[in-house]
Amino acid sequence: MEIPERTEIIIIGAGLMGCSIAYHLSKEKKEVVVFEKRNIASGASGRNGGQVIQLEGRDKNPETIKARLEITNENNKILKTLEKELNYNLEYQKIGSLDIALTKQEWEDIKETIKAQKKAGDKEIELLGKKETLQLCPLLTDNVFGSRFRPSDGTINPFFLTHGFAFRAQKLGAKIFTYTPVKKIIRENGKAKGVELENGKKVFSDIVINATNAWSIFLCPEIDILPLRQVAVVTEPVANLPVYPMEAFIDGDAIFTTTQTKSGNLVAGGFRTQARDREEHYDESVEPIELSGSSAIFKRIFKGLGDICIIRSWSGVMAVTGDCLPCIGRYPETKNLYISAGFLNGMAYGPIVGKLVAELIIYGKTSISIDIFKPERFYKKRINWPKFYNYTILAEFFARV
Amino acid sequence: MKELKLDEKTYFNKISFPSFERIKKGPVAIIECIEDIPCNPCETICKFGAIKVGFPITNLPILDEEKCTGCGRCVPVCPGLAIFVLDYNFNEKDCLLTIPYEFLPLPEEDEKVKCLDRDGKFVCDGKIIKVIPPERNAMTAIISFAFPKKYYNKIRSFKR
Amino acid sequence: MEEKDLVIIGGGPAGLCSAISARKKGIDVLIIDENLRPGGQLFKQIHRFFGSKEHMAGVRGFIIGEKLLKEVKELGVEVWLNSIAYGIFKDKIIGVIKDGKNTHIKAKSIIISTGATENPLSFPNWTLPGVMGAGACQTMINIHRVLPGKKVLMIGSGNVGLIVSYQLLQAGAEVVGIVEIMPKIGGYLVHAAKIKRFGVPIYLSTTILEGVGKDEIKGAVICPVDENFKPIIKRKKYIDVDLICIAVGLTPLNELLYQAGCLFTYKGYLGGLVALHNENMETTVENIFVAGDCSGIEEASTAMEEGKLAGIAASEKIRNKKWEEEKEEIRKHLNDFRIGTFGEKRKLSKEEIIKEYYERIKT
Amino acid sequence: MKNKKIICRCKEITEEEIIEVIKKGIKDVDGIKRALGAGMGLCQGKTCTNLIIKIINRETGIPIDKIRQQTSRAPVRPISIKIISE
Amino acid sequence: MKKKDLRIYKHPILGDMPEKKKIYIYFNEKKLTAYEGEMIAAVLYANGIRKLRKTERFKKPRGIFCAIGRCTDCVMTVDGIPNVRTCITPVKNGMKIEFQVGLGKWKKKIW
C-alpha cells in the first residue's frame, strides 16, 4: 500500500481514539489516512486493564460529574451493540465495577463521593458496606471497609476493541499505516495542511486530527499534556473468579485490578511508578520494584491468590491534562486541526468520542456537548507541572490547584 | 517415497578404502568417513601413524594401508561409529568384521545373527565371534562377527 | 541487594566454561541455573563428541558435563540451582527466584548463556499427546528415562533428528522412519549411517501432512513433495506410529538479552535473531556478554570455547587487566571448529556479527 | 476443527485466523499478538513466535529478517504472586 | 503394572537406573508408584498416561511437548492448584494430580 500524496483527513495515532475516529469518519464516506508510529494499540490502548469505568477516580464536582456521565453513558450504550456493528469479538462484559476502601479515611471519602455523585444526578451507583462488598466479591481482603458499586461498568478486551475499529475502518476504505511516524503537523497561515512524516515525505489533507494521547505535546506543543506512566502485571488465566474491575488507593497511589480478558487473566497495576521526570514516564521497561510492587497489589486487595502465577508485566503511558479531563475538539488558532488526547481512562470514552469527533468534523457540532473538554481551556496556558512527579505528587498538585 | 540409500558406492572412490590386495593380507581398518567433520580422534589414537587427518582437522582421514595393522583401537573412539576392522582371512570361507555396538542386550559369542547391509537390509546369516564388553571402551562394546567373504564390502551390521 | 562481580545466567557448556575461566582469574563468579543440576543439554548428550584431543573429542557429552561440574566445584564457583533468572532490569540488576524467594542481584558483569529453544513445526493434530520436540524426547529418554512412545516418526534429518533417532533405538524404541523435506539429509552422513544400518529408513523430499489420532497420536500421514516443496497428495502414505518427534532446528533463546537492551541481527545460519557482539563476546550493552547457543546455534564444543572467551573478557574488565594471548588462543580454537560444510557459513555469520557490532555501536 | 492448524498452542489460535489478520494488513508478530491474542497465553509466545514469523513471510513475502519480532518482558517464567511480590 | 511401565531400567550407555526411594502419587484417585526425583509428567508417561489435560477453546487433549517447562502444554492440577507445569515439577509422596479441563478449577480453597 502506497502512502498517498494527499487525502481528505489525516489521523495521527492508531490507538483506540484514532481508530474509533477513523471508523466513524469512514462510515460517513470520508477519505481517511491514519499514521501510527508503532502498531495499532501499541500505546495506552494496548496497555491498560480493559476497565470500562464511567467515573473513575473520586470526582465530587457536580459539573464535571454531569458532563462525564452524559458522555460515558452514551459510550455504554454503544458498547452494547458494538460487537455486532464491528463484527468483531470484543470480549465485552458488563459486570459492574467497585471502588473499594481499605482504610477508614478512604471509606469516608467514598461515602462523600457517592453523596456528591448522587446529588449530581447519578441514579445508578450503590454504596456497599463491608458485608455486602464481601458478598459480591468474597475474594476481597477482610480489611475492606466497603465500596462503591456501579453495575453498568465492566471490562472489554482493549486490543480487540481497538482492532475492531481499525479493521472495520479499513474495510470502509480507511488506510492505516503502521510504523510510519509523523514528524510534525504542517501548519500554514493558521491552517493545518497535512503532516510531514519522519522520513521527510509530506502528505497533505483538508483536516488533521491529533489522537496521540501522551505523545500529543510533540505535535501540538501549545497544549501541555503530561505523560503518566502506569505499570501492571498479568496473571495466568484463572477460571471463574468473582473479580470485577476495581479501583482503590493504597499508600496514596491509585491502583486497579481487573480481568483483562474473558479468558480469565487477572491484571493489577497502577501508577506505582519509579519514573521521575517527564522523559522517564515514556519508558516502557519495568523496574524490579514495580514488578514486585504491582504483584503485591493482589495480596493487599485479595486473600488466597498467592499461588496464582504472574506471566507478564508491562508499563504504558497515560496522559493527564491540567484538570484531569481529556482535550477533545477543534484546535484553537489553527483551522482544520483537531485534537483528542489527554485520556486517563480511554475505554469509557473511545467509542463515543470517535463518533463525536466525526460529527464535529462533518456537521460542525456534536450530538452531545463536549464543551467541558474543549481544548481552549489549556491552550498556550503554562501549567506549572512538578518537575519530578508520580501519581501521589500529581494528586497533591491537583489538590493545590 | 525417495529413500536415502547407502551402499559400497557411497564410499567407494571417496575414501582411501584399502585395496583388495591389502585386504587379502590380513586385518585392516575401513574408515567410512566422507565428510569434512572437524574431528580427529582416529588420528590421535593410532600408534602406528596409519591414519592421517592433519590440518585442518576437517580433512578426511587417510589410511596408510601398509602401516595399518588392523589392531582396532580406532573402532571405539570414532564419534561417528564409522570405523570397522575387516579380517578377510578369518577362515577359509568367512571374513570377520569388527564393529562398535551400543545396544542392549549384547549378543553372546557363538550366537547366530542376521547380517545386515548399510541400509539395514538382511543379506546373510553370520555368527558372533568375539564380544568386548562396553565398560572397557566408555560404554561402546566391540563386536566381531563372521560371514561369507563375498559380502566383505556389503555387511556393516547385524540383528539378532 | 546483593552485589556480584560476575553473574552467569545458564549453566550449560558455555556457562560452566566461562565460570571456570573467570574463576581461574580470581573473579567471584555466580552461576544461576533453573535446573536441578547444571550442565544444560550436556546431560542428555549421551553420544561421543566430534573434535580433537584438546577438546575432549570422542568423549560423551554427559561425561564432559560431569568433568566441568567437578571443576566448577573444585574452583569454588557459587552455583544457584533450581533458580530462575526471570528478568534483567536497568543497571544490570537481575531478578532471581531462588529457593522460592524473590531476590535481586546487581552484577558488575553478566554472561548470558541461556542456550536455545527447539523450533516448532505445525501440522494438523500437532497438539495431540504423542507429538513432541526431538530435544524433549531426548530429555524424556536420557534424563527422565521414560520412553514416551514405542514407534516413532522423526521429522527432520539434521544432526539432532539423526542423533535422537539413534538414541531412541538405544532406549529400546522402534524408529519407523525419518522424514526430510529437502532432497538430502541435513546432518552428517555418519550419523545417518549409524541408524540406517539398523534398518531405519530416511525418506527424502518427504514431509508430514498430519498427525492421526483422536486423543493421542496413533499414526501419521507422510507425503513426498515436488521440487517446490509442495506435497504430491496422491502419493501420501499412512504409517502407524505413537510418537512424532519434531527436529527442525533450534532458535537462540534471547529473551534476557532483549530485556537487557542488547541489539540484534538476523543470521539464518545461526538459527535466527542473535545479539550483536564483538570478538570478546561482549554485546552492545557494556559488560553484558553472550556465549553458546544463545549467541548463535552451533555445537557444544564451540559453546565451551565461547564461554571461556567471554569468561576471560569479562574478567579483564573487572580486574582491569589484559589476557590478550589467551583470548587469541581460544579464538584460534574457535576458528578450528568453524570449518567444513557447516562451520564455514557459521564462521562468516560470526564475522558479520562482529562487523555489524562495530557499525551499530557507533550510532 | 478438523484439519485446522493450531499455531498458538496456548490460546489455540489457528493458522486461518492469523492469515485473515495478515490480509487485514497486520504484518508483524507484535501486531498479530495484539490483534488476536496469539502469544499472550501461559507460555507467552515461546512456541508460536517462530511459526507466526514464517506465516507472515509466506503470506506477505517480507523477508524473515525484516519481520519485527516479539518483545520480552519479565518474568520469563510464570512465578507465583506470593513469591514475586516479595 | 510392570507391563505398562515404560521406564528405561537398563540402558547401554547410561547403565542401570539408579536405586531411588519409592513413593506414591495419585492421578485422578488412581495410585501410582513413583521414585523420588522423578517429574510428575514423567511418572504419568511411564504409566502410559499421555493425556494430561484438555484445552479451553477446542477441548483437545494435550501432553508433554517441550519437556523443559517452557511451552506450558503439560499443565495439570496438582494438589488443588491448576496450571502446574508437570514436566519440571518433581513428585512428592501423596501428591494428588488431576487431569485439567480448560483453565482448571482451584480445588484448593482460596477464599
- The answer to whether position E55 is within a domain reads yes
What is the full per-residue pLDDT of chain B (160 aa) written as tens digits? 899 999 988 887 777 789 999 999 999 999 999 998 989 999 999 999 999 999 888 899 999 999 999 999 999 999 999 999 999 999 999 999 999 999 999 999 999 999 999 999 999 999 999 999 999 999 999 999 999 999 999 999 999 8
Do E and C make contact via 3 or more CB pairs under 8 A? The reply is yes
Q: Residue type at D58?
A: R
The residue among E107 and A8 whose pLDDT is bigger is A8
d(CA E49, CA E63): 9
> Quick check: A287 and C102 CB within 8 A?
no
- Reduced DSSP (H G I as helix, E B as strand, rest coil) percent helix, strand, coil of chain E, to 5: 5, 35, 60
Does the beta carbon of A292 lie under 8 angstroms from any beta carbon of chain D? yes
Query: How many distinct structural domains can be found in chain A?
Result: 1
When CB atoms are compared, the residue of A287, A291, A292 closest to C90 is A287
What pLDDT score was predicted for residue E3? 57
- The answer to whether position B52 is within a domain reads no
Class of domain D6-84: mainly alpha
> Quick check: D10 and E70 CB within 8 A?
no
- The answer to whether position A195 is within a domain reads yes
Give the three-state DSSP class for A355: helix
Label residue D1 by pLDDT band (50, 70, 90).
very low
Label residue E109 by pLDDT band (50, 70, 90).
low
Going by C-alpha positions, the residue among C56, C3, C47 that lies closest to residue B81 is C47
pLDDT digits (tens, 9 = 90+) for D8-33: 999 999 999 999 999 999 999 999 99
Q: Residue type at A175?
A: K
Instruction: Delimit the domains of chain C by residue range.
Output: 2-117+250-362, 120-246
When CB atoms are compared, the residue of A139, A302, A309 closest to E83 is A309
- The answer to whether position A185 is within a domain reads yes
In chain B, residues with a C-beta closer than 8 Å to the C-beta of C52 are: 38-41, 44, 57
> Quick check: B3 and C201 CB within 8 A?
yes
| C-beta of residue A322 within 8 angstroms of C-beta of residue A344 | no
- Chosen for mutation from A135, A142, A236 (greatest number of chain E CBs closer than 10 Å) is A236
d(CA B108, CA B112): 9
- The answer to whether position B130 is within a domain reads yes
- CATH assignment of the domain containing A210: 3.50.50.60
> Quick check: C128 and E7 CB within 8 A?
no
- The answer to whether position B23 is within a domain reads yes
Label residue E2 by pLDDT band (50, 70, 90).
very low
- The answer to whether position A147 is within a domain reads no
- Beta strand ranges found along chain C (DSSP E): 2-9, 29-32, 78-80, 84-89, 93-98, 101-112, 116-118, 131-133, 151-155, 174-179, 202-203, 206-212, 219-224, 237-240, 243-246, 250-252, 264-267, 272-275, 288-290
pLDDT above 70 covers a percentage of chain C that reads 100
In chain C, residues with a C-beta closer than 8 Å to the C-beta of E38 are: 144
> Quick check: E110 and A305 CB within 8 A?
yes
Average predicted confidence (pLDDT) for chain D: 92
Give the three-state DSSP class for D8: strand
Label residue D2 by pLDDT band (50, 70, 90).
low
Query: How many distinct structural domains can be found in chain E?
Result: 1
- Residue D71 clears pLDDT 90, i.e. is over it: no
| C-beta of residue D13 within 8 angstroms of C-beta of residue D7 | yes
Nearest residue on chain B to C207, alpha-carbon basis: B1
The CATH code of the domain at C120-246 is 3.50.50.60
Q: How far is A235 from chain C (nearest CA, A)?
A: 15
Rounded to whole angstroms, the maximal C-alpha distance in chain C is 68
What pLDDT score was predicted for residue C358? 97
Instruction: Delimit the domains of chain D by residue range.
Output: 6-84
- Reduced DSSP (H G I as helix, E B as strand, rest coil) percent helix, strand, coil of chain D, to 5: 40, 10, 50
> Quick check: E13 and B103 CB within 8 A?
no
- Residue D3 clears pLDDT 80, i.e. is over it: no
**C2-117+250-362: CATH superfamily:** FAD/NAD(P)-binding domain (3.50.50.60)
Give the three-state DSSP class for E87: coil
When CB atoms are compared, the residue of E55, E65, E69 closest to D12 is E55
- CATH assignment of the domain containing E39: 3.10.20.440
pLDDT digits (tens, 9 = 90+) for C335-356: 988 988 788 999 999 999 999 9
Q: Which residue segment(s) compose the domain that E61 sits in?
A: 10-101
- The answer to whether position E1 is within a domain reads no
Q: Determine the average pLDDT of the residues in C34-52.
A: 92
Label residue E1 by pLDDT band (50, 70, 90).
very low
- Residue D80 clears pLDDT 90, i.e. is over it: yes
pLDDT digits (tens, 9 = 90+) for E57-76: 999 999 999 999 999 999 99
Segments of chain A scoring below 70 in pLDDT: none
Q: Which residue segment(s) compose the domain that A15 sits in?
A: 6-46+159-225+323-387
In chain E, residues with a C-beta closer than 8 Å to the C-beta of A238 are: 82, 103, 106
Q: Which residue segment(s) compose the domain that B120 sits in?
A: 8-35+70-159
Do A and E make contact via 3 or more CB pairs under 8 A? The reply is yes
- CATH assignment of the domain containing B109: 2.40.30
